[in-house]
Amino acid sequence: MPKPLIFDATPLIYLTKASLTTTLEILPEEKLATSAVFNEVVQEGKKKKAPEAMLLQNLFRCQAIKVQDPSNKEYLEYVKEIAAGNEMQPLHEAEAEVLSLAKELKGVAVADDQIARLVARLLGIELHGTAYILGKIYLTGKVEMETLIEKIKQMRESGWYLSAEDYLRIVEYLKSI
């Protein structure tokens, strides 16, 4: 059985801005987000009148993405302490929850945040970024390479931070799978 994907806010927002939510739905893995992620992308998004908030709300409503919180609150606090204790910036609540839930479910955290990546590495939590999901989408056969590269450009234009070097790395990664 495939490992569940536990999403942080950034991948959800930018995949939605690039109109990739329908392909996200067909990925075979269970897709989860925590309450803090839901609040950030839907509740706060609606307050800011972010157009992707309503689309994401529909994904949650039809349970294409389910909300689940980590049950081990002590471990959640430990995750936050690891970031602070290693002279890193503190993790946001949502990122800490995503990492904790990924550990608990033996799943894959999906986040682009550098601090979350460092903490995941320290704690042995599998974490991949948005590019990983783009690869999974490509492997469904529902989106052609050229279209997917155009979607990446749209994501960048809509605010997804991606250096030119990272952009080239993602394109190379997609072409290698």
For the domain with range 5-131, which CATH number is right: 3.40.50.1950, 3.40.50.1010, 3.40.640.10, 3.40.50.2000?
3.40.50.1010
Buried b (16+ CB within 10 A) or exposed e, 95-109: bbbbbbbbbbbebbb
pLDDT in tens, 65-121: 999 999 999 999 999 988 777 666 778 899 999 999 999 999 999 999 989 999 999
For residue 92, give the nearest of 119, 121, 58, 56 by alpha carbon. Answer: 119
pLDDT in tens, 49-65: 999 999 999 999 999 99
Say how many CA atoms lie within 13 Å of 175 toward its Cβ. 8
Q: Hey, where are the domains in the chain?
A: 5-131
- pLDDT in the model for residue 108: 98
* Mean model confidence pLDDT for the chain: 93
- pLDDT in the model for residue 84: 75
Q: Count of CB atoms within 10 A of residue 56's CB? A: 26
State phi, psi for 62 to the nearest 5 degrees: -85, 5
pLDDT surpassing 70 at residue 11: yes
